[in-house]
Amino acid sequence: MTTISKIRNIAIIAHVDHGKTTLVDGMLKQSGIFRENQVVQERVMDSNDLEKERGITILAKNTSVRYQGYKINIVDTPGHSDFGGEVERVLKMVDGVLLLVDAAEGPMPQTRFVLRKALELNLVPVVVVNKIDRPDARINEVVDEVYELFFELGANDEQLEFPVVYAVARQGVATMDPDEPGQNLKPLFETIISHCPAPQGDPAAPLQLLVNNTEYDPYIGRIAIGRVWQGSIAGGQTVAVIDHEGNIKNFRVGRIYVFEGLERLEVPRASCGEIVVVSGLEDIKIGETIADKDLPVALPAITVDEPTLEMTFMVNDSPFAGQEGEHLTSRKLRARLYKEMERNVSLRVQDTDSPDVWKVAGRGELHLSILIETMRREGFELQVSKPEVIYKRGDNGQLLEPMELLLVDIPEDKMGPVMEILGNRRGEMINMGPNGPGQLRLEFKVPARGLIGFRSQLLSETRGHAVMNHTFLGYEPYKGEIKRRYQGVLIAFEAGEATFYGLYSAQDRGTLFVTPGTKVYEGMVVGEHVREQDIEVNVCKKKQLTNFRSSTAEATVKLEEPRLMSLEEALEYLSDDELLEVTPKSLRIRKKILDKNERARAKKLASVEK
């Protein structure tokens, strides 16, 4: 058992793509946990399939390294603002944070968010300026910007005395002086040990352990991950579990594990200061306290910022329902959503009047789309509505809406169009400045609903030469109506299989979303119209055969490239009267009302009511 004075608990926090997981790779390799001839993949901590595909961290993960007799427990956190809930709950496990900042980009919106949370919890920061080998690195300016950010967020004198380490995480080197090249990560290890405090707590006091994460292991069942704040916990011990309402139940602990590198090592007992994995506690939830059975005292519950975006999830009732998925029923869908809420602390699931429909709220489009993508890979079929922001009422009854801080890096010649787009979306410019030769960085305060569908429009307008980042700011008075889509859609006239001839006849009306051979049904959206109104098109139409055929009649006939959308793009594209059908194999945009006559009747009734 490692003594409490030899333990350091730290979290690595940063904006997305600033090198957190790559730095953890270097720390693991240089701590000697791998064999010399062992093949180790890059970003070894990103073990989830979606994380590997997208190159981002979605779930916070624990590991540990050994350095000169010290044990450093490390938590690798997500950098995307939509997964801020993951960051908030794991910060309750640690005493210090490594704040990574890109040497060229400097502090970004998510840097502000994660640092604010760390300072509120009085965690001790160590700043790591990463990627100092970049040709556009501006090391001194970035350090000044970090100091300014600390001042803005109200850091105390002790927190302002942070050390700065300069690193190239990809090469596994760090230095205390940017003018002197680093040889290894020894300066970083020594800074962590000297600057981050050892855990506090009395090993002889009654047990208190806060559950920060839960997982399911196919061999040992439900497991809880958390830090022992005082006392100790042993395998086979009887403990009290205090839930969110203060109810107490006694359980017998199964096994106790601690993190050693990438492995979980079983130990007979773990003392305060250690981050542990506990098995044997059925139905344990995040935020509950594992305490001494004779003196059960609860720790403060984990609180995270409320969700700002919600969608309607429902059972798939399209004509193609049940053809591609395994899990179709409302019972299975509801159970899966509520199971997700248990481990995803910033997700909210709410039943509605219909047993086949649920309201699901999260921190952003990416947060919800990752859930949908995970479910479709598990074999679920479902339908979802367009994302909607969650409004609140102020003390005086005024309608409030969530606001986002948006940073966009664009070419100088695209400034006018981008400002016009954001103006139409009720964006308010806060700051503007150069960001390298021919580049500008614009800073906006914009309603969260104004960012729905903005990414694809921005990339289209700048021909892919724009980068955007945003984070939640708070609630402000409602900014007025925002028009999201200016084009109507092409709707399939009948069920069948899309033909080359039918698509060729329809492509003059707009941009197609389907290819020849795609099965369609009446009411399914097959393209975008060039005008504002929706129209029906027959993409299943076949060419009439005759006895006469010109040898060159179809030589020049060709279809335009269809627009095939990703899940996020499809969610952004949805209108009020549309749904997205999600199956393991397909994504289909459809009208809520499939029959064209009923759709016309509903539209007429809606206009009369207005």
Residue 591: per-residue pLDDT: 92
Residue 22 known to bind ligand: yes
For the 208-292 domain, the top CATH level (class) is: mainly beta
> Which helix (DSSP H) or strand (DSSP E) does residue 601 occupy?
helix 596-609
Rounded to an integer, what is the distance from CA 420 to the centroid of its chain?
A: 28
Place of tokens 């970003």: 43
Asked if residue 421 lies in contact with residue 468, where contact means CB atoms within 8 angstroms, the answer is: no
Instruction: Domain 4-195: give its CATH code.
Output: 3.40.50.300
pTM given for the model:
0.74
Q: Which residues in 15-92 belong to E strands, given as ranges? A: 61-67, 70-76
Report d(CA 30, CA 222) in Å as an integer.
33
Alpha-helix residue ranges (DSSP H) falling in 345-470:
365-377, 415-424, 454-461
Mean pLDDT in runs of 10 for the chain (610 residues)? 81 77 81 50 47 50 83 76 64 88 84 82 90 88 90 86 89 87 87 89 88 77 86 90 86 88 85 88 83 88 79 92 89 90 80 92 83 90 91 87 87 87 89 81 89 81 80 86 81 90 87 90 91 88 65 61 86 88 92 88 78
Q: Which residues in 352-466 belong to E strands, given as ranges? A: 357-362, 382-384, 388-389, 392-393, 399-411, 428-434, 439-447
**Position 137: which residue type?**
A
Alpha-helix residue ranges (DSSP H) falling in 443-499:
454-461
Residue 486: per-residue pLDDT: 74
Closest CA to 164 of 155, 174, 173: 174
Task: Tell me how far CA of residue 117 lies from CA of 11, 14, 111, 360, in angstroms.
Answer: 12, 12, 10, 25
Query: Other CB atoms closer than 10 Å to residue 520's CB: what's the count?
Result: 25
Dihedrals phi, psi of 105, to nearest 5 degrees: -80, -30
Residue 308 known to bind ligand: no
Paired strand residues for 521: none
Report d(CA 318, CA 519) in Å as an integer.
13
Residue 18 known to bind ligand: yes
Residue 343: per-residue pLDDT: 72
Residue 551: per-residue pLDDT: 47
Residue 539 three-state SS: coil
Residue 131 known to bind ligand: yes
Residue 323 three-state SS: coil
Residue 45: per-residue pLDDT: 44
Domain map of the chain by residue range? Answer: 4-195, 208-292, 392-477, 489-547+555-609
Handedness of CA 187, 189, 190, 194 (dihedral sign): positive
Angle at 21 between CA 160 and CA 36, to 5 degrees: 120
Dihedrals phi, psi of 244, to nearest 5 degrees: -65, -25
Asked if residue 384 lies in contact with residue 318, where contact means CB atoms within 8 angstroms, the answer is: no
Residue 139 known to bind ligand: no
Residue 133 known to bind ligand: yes
Q: Which residues in 218-255 belong to E strands, given as ranges? A: 221-230, 232-234, 238-242, 248-252
Report d(CA 124, CA 194) in Å as an integer.
11
Parallel/antiparallel/unpaired status of strands 439-447 and 489-492? unpaired
The CATH number for 489-547+555-609, chosen from 3.90.550.10, 3.40.50.1100, 3.30.70.1140, 2.40.50.250, is 2.40.50.250
DSSP code string of 185-212:
SHHHHHHHHHHSPPPP--TTSPPEEEEE
Place of tokens 């499939």: 594
Burial class of 563 by CB neighbour count within 10 A (0 to 12, 13 to 18, 19+): middle
Closest CA to 139 of 180, 183, 109, 171: 180
Instruction: Domain 392-477: give its CATH code.
Output: 3.30.70.240
Residue 1: per-residue pLDDT: 56
